[in-house]
Amino acid sequence: MALKKLVAMAAAIILAAGTAGAQTLLFHSGFEADVSVKPHEWLPDLIGVDRSVSAPNDWQAGLERDGRKFFFNFCNRVTPEQMGVELVNDPAGGQNRVLRMYQRDVPLGNNPSNKTRVQAEMQIDAPDRLREFYQQWRLYIHPDIRMLENFPESRKEGPQLMELDCADAGCGRYRITITLRVQGGGKPLLWNTWCHTLCSPRETFWQVISDAPVPYGVWVTVRMHWKSNAGTKTGGRFHFSYQPDGASRVVVADVKDDWVSWPQATAWGIRAWKPFVWYNAGQDETHYIRDNGGLAQIFVDDFELWDGWPGDGATTASVPAKASGPAASSRAAAALVDLRGRRVVTAGSGRAAALACAGAGPRWYVINERITHH
Task: Tell me: pLDDT of 319 over 90.
Answer: no
Of residues 120 and 352, more confidence is placed in 120
The HSE-up count of residue 161 (CA atoms within 13 Å, CB side) is 27
Cβ–Cβ < 8 Å for 236, 260: yes
Task: Tell me: pLDDT of 117 over 90.
Answer: no
**pLDDT tens sequence across 25-67:** 999 999 998 999 998 888 889 999 999 999 999 999 999 888 8
Cβ–Cβ < 8 Å for 361, 317: no
Q: Which residues contact 329 (CB under 8 A, 6 or more apart)?
A: 323, 347, 352, 353
What's the chain's average pLDDT? 74
Residue 70: φ, ψ to 5°: -115, 140
Give CA–CA dist 340/331, Å, rounded: 19
Of residues 18 and 307, more confidence is placed in 307
- Position 305 scores a pLDDT of 94
- Position 207 scores a pLDDT of 82
What is the model's pTM? Answer: 0.80
Closest CA relative to residue 300, chosen from 274, 321, 266, 318: 274
Q: Which residue type does 54 have?
A: S
Lowest-pLDDT range of 19-23, 244-248, 314-318, 352-356: 314-318
Class of domain 3-367: mainly beta
Mean pLDDT of 285-302: 94
